[in-house]
Amino acid sequence: MRVNRAKLNELIAAKLHKAGLSKEHADGVADVLVHADVRGIHSHGAMRVEYYAERIAKGGINTEPEFKFEKTGPCTAVFDGDNGVGHVAAKQAMDEAIKMAESSGIAAVGVRRIGHSGALSYFVRQAAKAGMIGISVCQSDPMVVPFGGSEPYYGTNPIAFAAPSQDDRIITLDMATTVQAWGKILHARSRHESIPESWAVDREGHPTTDPFKVNALLPIAGPKGYGLMMMVDVLSGILLGLPFGNKVSSMYHDLTEYRNLGQFHLVINPAFFTDPGEFKQRISQTMDELNRIKPAPGIAQVLFPGQNSDHIQAEYEKNGIEIVDEIYEYLVSDIVHKNQYDNKDPFAK
């Protein structure tokens, strides 16, 4: 069904407030989740609310965190999220990074001890809206084999990048470093469909087309994606003194425990490298040039990264956001959660 953006925001915020978050934090999380839904990234939108509500209710998210921002050098800082909701901590840390980059040209902010923060495009677009380049990476729970391995070590460790143009368009690359998200395997299971060989491996490390035999996901582009995953884990885990690799806490393992996750923001102020107006003009130019590249057979137009989501957003803003009926019914119900996520093995059949 279709739901108006403001209404969806209100429903999500109300549910998370009921689950135990402060009004301010519930509003902050709702904003990030609705950003994902309105851009067609439904895997990180309203569908996550019930899981968060259960985790909040069970104590696995600090509902009264004390955020601490510590400047550690001319252009570096550490933001401690005290295991509150990751969305709000990551947003505030990006606000601080943007402020720092205004005067220092570049800012690197490590975000320590947070819960899951959702779709990273939200944070990098904050920087782009302030006229800067934003880069953000974060660790996630282990479910991916390192290249050549047969057991999971890394998470789907996403990378996001945004840059502003001279109009209101923003280049928005926002990608997991796995070929496919875990949700796509679950989707194939629910439909008893096979999956392409390139997505995942079984317990012996053989590529599998049977979604029920999947033991771990595969990185994008073999050793190259594996290397990127490692880079993300170094920046958002090892560098920040947090658990790393297969010691990163699992999304569903124990909902009473804090997750202690890490994220890393980098903001670059174009004014310290070139004329900022010219920079934006050249970004617009490259977007236009890409759109004019002769498309391959069967493709309507070459898009710049994020333009697919821009198209979805334009349609959803006009006609309402497409939301699964079951999720809407949960949001409008009195139920906080149905106790269905705790200790759920992501690889359970």
State the minimum distance, in angstroms, from the CB of residue 110 to ligand NAI: 16
Asked if 116 is part of the footprint of ligand NAI (rule: CB under 6 A), the reply reads yes
Asked if 11 is part of the footprint of ligand NAI (rule: CB under 6 A), the reply reads no
State the minimum distance, in angstroms, from the CB of residue 114 to ligand NAI: 10
Of 17, 42, 87, 116, which residue is the catalytic one? 116
Asked if 231 is part of the footprint of ligand NAI (rule: CB under 6 A), the reply reads no
- When the beta carbons of 304 and 330 are compared against ligand NAI, the nearer one is 304
Asked if 181 is part of the footprint of ligand NAI (rule: CB under 6 A), the reply reads yes
State the minimum distance, in angstroms, from the CB of residue 333 to ligand NAI: 26
Residue 327: C-alpha distances to residues 50, 51, 135, 227 (Å): 9, 12, 31, 36
- Residue number of the CB closest to ligand NAI reads 119
CB atoms within 10 A of CB 299: 10
Which residue from 308, 333, 339, 343 is in contact with ligand NAI, where contact means CB under 6 A? Answer: 308
State the minimum distance, in angstroms, from the CB of residue 121 to ligand NAI: 5
Asked if 286 is part of the footprint of ligand NAI (rule: CB under 6 A), the reply reads no
State the minimum distance, in angstroms, from the CB of residue 183 to ligand NAI: 8
Asked if 249 is part of the footprint of ligand NAI (rule: CB under 6 A), the reply reads no
Asked if 156 is part of the footprint of ligand NAI (rule: CB under 6 A), the reply reads yes
Strands (E), the chain: 2-3, 68-73, 76-80, 106-114, 133-138, 159-164, 170-175, 200-201, 216-217, 261-268, 321-322
* Residue 272 and residue 112 in contact, taking contact as beta carbons nearer than 8 Å: no
State the minimum distance, in angstroms, from the CB of residue 224 to ligand NAI: 15
- When the beta carbons of 65 and 306 are compared against ligand NAI, the nearer one is 306
Asked if 179 is part of the footprint of ligand NAI (rule: CB under 6 A), the reply reads no
Ramachandran angles phi, psi of 215, nearest 5°: -110, -25
Q: Which of residues 29-58 bind ligand NAI (CB under 6 A)?
A: 41, 43-44
Q: 114 Cβ partners below 8 Å, 6+ apart?
A: 81, 83, 84, 85, 86, 89, 90, 259, 261, 262, 263
Strands (E), 143-280: 159-164, 170-175, 200-201, 216-217, 261-268
Helix axes 86-104, 23-38, angle to 10 degrees: 80
Q: How many residues bind ligand NAI (CB under 6 A)?
A: 25
Verify whether residue 116 is a known catalytic residue.
yes
* Order of strands, sheet of 76-80, starting from the edge strand that comes earlier in the sequence: 68-73, 76-80, 106-114, 261-268, 133-138, 159-164, 170-175
Question: For the window 183-222, what string marks contact with ligand NAI as x by the rule CB under 6 A?
Answer: ----------------------------------------
**Per-position DSSP letters for 73-138, written without gaps between them:** ETTEEEEE-TTS-HHHHHHHHHHHHHHHHHHHSEEEEEEEEE-----THHHHHHHHHTTSEEEEEE
Name which of 226, 225, 227, 238 is nearest 264 in CA terms. 238
Asked if 152 is part of the footprint of ligand NAI (rule: CB under 6 A), the reply reads no
Catalytically annotated residues: 116
Contact residues toward ligand NAI (CB under 6 A) are: 41, 43-44, 116-121, 138, 140, 156, 158, 160, 172-176, 181, 303, 305-306, 308-309
